[in-house]
Amino acid sequence: MTAHTRADLESLPGYVPGRSIPGAVKLASNEVSVGPLPGVVAAIRDAAAGINRYPDNGAAALVDRLAARLDVPPSQLAVGAGSVALCQQLVQATCTPTDEVLFAWRSFEAYPIITQIVGARQRTVPLRTDHTHDLAGMLDAITPATRLVFVCNPNNPTGTAVRRDELVTFLDAVPDGVLVALDEAYHEFVTDPAVPDGMELYRQRENVAVLRTFSKAYGLAALRVGYCVAPEPVATTLRKVSVPFSINSLAQVAALASLDVEDEMLARCRSVAAERDRVGSELIAMGYPVPRSQANFVWLPFGEHTMAFNEHCLEHKVVIRPFSGDGVRITIGDPNENEMALAAAREWQNSDPQGRQPPI
């Protein structure tokens, strides 16, 4: 007998993680280069002896701590194996096969994948020429079938961010019955005061959910823990569709310990943001049209030259993240790593190997 799988998944693209190459600088996955803070590492080490036991399925201590920190009831919180898992759970919680998920493109590459996995339909709206969300176009694209809208703010992979006034106007105009998920995986790196904290918008509305993660700013990418603040009926359903025990005990301990050292974490984020602005300014000075980033990476819109520039960087032992036909995303590492990326970009501008013209 032959086993059958869903025919619609045959064309499903796999999620493409950033590459790691021995001896090369990895600036491909938006990780913080220095890892978790020392107190967090110690908490993980101390908790390792208990991994023969199942973790708390509801991560109650973490939920209670986050609820107190964010000033929301625990019933409005759900935790998951990274914010990407919660993105998928949001689709599961809101959509049937006849419903639609709307998002900008290009944006987080998991959105179309998780939408198809769940079995819902996707609708996309191109970014504007300045690489920001076209919220007016997204509003026009909402149909009676739309149940969920993702707004990645700051946007991955462009780093651009929607500002408060424009986002408020959009949220106030979204029809009843449509949930807007503000995906704020890079919230801690934002330095522009005009970019809103999603929680302030959440408190004023019943159609908003806010997603955040411990993977980026907190340096816990390998442990997979994120959280979602949502209206109580949505949060309740998110917990129902989660995979049991999906947040392991070490991840829970590490997240709690990370909340104990938030001041140190935010100071580190400010240093990353300063390096981001420096790298962006140097690339602009070279002639690259780099949009202003509010994340821990910068975006270079190379278009058809994307893969050639990626190969050029690999030759210089710098691993970046290419998005074929669109551009490359370069994570901000430590100053020495960033200098290697800048040197590769500078050499690209100053040379024309094999008759290739610079893309700028």
- DSSP letter assigned to residue 19: P
Residue ending a domain, among 228, 260, 292, is: 260
Residues 6+ apart with CB under 8 A from 41: 35
253 and 269 inside one domain: no
- Whether 211 contacts 185, CB under 8 Å: yes
pLDDT digits (tens, 9 = 90+) for 72-119: 999 999 999 999 999 999 999 999 999 999 999 999 999 999 999 999
Domain extent, residue 295, equals 7-30+263-350
93 and 140 inside one domain: yes
Looking at the domain assignment, is residue 359 inside a domain? Answer: no
Looking at the domain assignment, is residue 120 inside a domain? Answer: yes
227 and 211 inside one domain: yes
- Whether 296 contacts 271, CB under 8 Å: no
CA distance 127 to 47: 44
CATH number of the domain at 187, please.
3.40.640.10
Residue ending a domain, among 219, 238, 260, is: 260
214 and 267 inside one domain: no
Edge-to-edge strand list for the sheet holding 321-323: 297-300, 327-331, 321-323
pLDDT for the residue numbered 1: 67
pLDDT digits (tens, 9 = 90+) for 158-184: 999 999 999 999 999 999 999 999 999
Which residue type sits at 212?
R
pLDDT digits (tens, 9 = 90+) for 240-284: 999 999 999 999 999 999 999 999 999 999 999 999 999 999 999
Looking at the domain assignment, is residue 356 inside a domain? Answer: no
- The per-residue DSSP string of 114-166 comes to HHHHHT-EEEEEEPPTTSS--HHHHHHH--TTEEEEEEESS-TTT-----HHH
pLDDT for the residue numbered 286: 95
- The per-residue DSSP string of 331-350 comes to E---HHHHHHHHHHHHHHHH
204 and 275 inside one domain: no
CATH number of the domain at 278, please.
3.90.1150.10
pLDDT digits (tens, 9 = 90+) for 39-69: 999 999 999 999 999 999 999 999 999 999 9
pLDDT for the residue numbered 15: 66
12 and 26 inside one domain: yes
CA distance 105 to 134: 10
- Whether 62 contacts 256, CB under 8 Å: yes
256-275: burial string, b at 16+ Cβ within 10 Å, e else:
bbbbebeeebeebbeebbeb
- Counting the structural domains of the chain, the total is 2
pLDDT at residue 236 tops 70: yes
Looking at the domain assignment, is residue 278 inside a domain? Answer: yes
pLDDT for the residue numbered 341: 98
256 and 269 inside one domain: no
98 and 187 inside one domain: yes
CA distance 268 to 40: 15
**Residue 7 pLDDT class (50, 70, 90 cuts):** confident
Alpha-carbon distances, residue 156 vs 91, 115, 187 (angstroms): 19, 17, 12
CA distance 62 to 28: 29
**Residue 350 pLDDT class (50, 70, 90 cuts):** confident
164 and 272 inside one domain: no
**Residue 37 pLDDT class (50, 70, 90 cuts):** confident
CA distance 39 to 259: 11
Residues 6+ apart with CB under 8 A from 293: 154, 158, 159, 160, 276, 280, 299
296 and 251 inside one domain: no
155 and 221 inside one domain: yes
150 and 248 inside one domain: yes
Mean pLDDT of 293-317: 97
Looking at the domain assignment, is residue 2 inside a domain? Answer: no
Looking at the domain assignment, is residue 355 inside a domain? Answer: no
Residue ending a domain, among 217, 235, 260, is: 260
CA distance 321 to 173: 35
Looking at the domain assignment, is residue 346 inside a domain? Answer: yes
Looking at the domain assignment, is residue 1 inside a domain? Answer: no
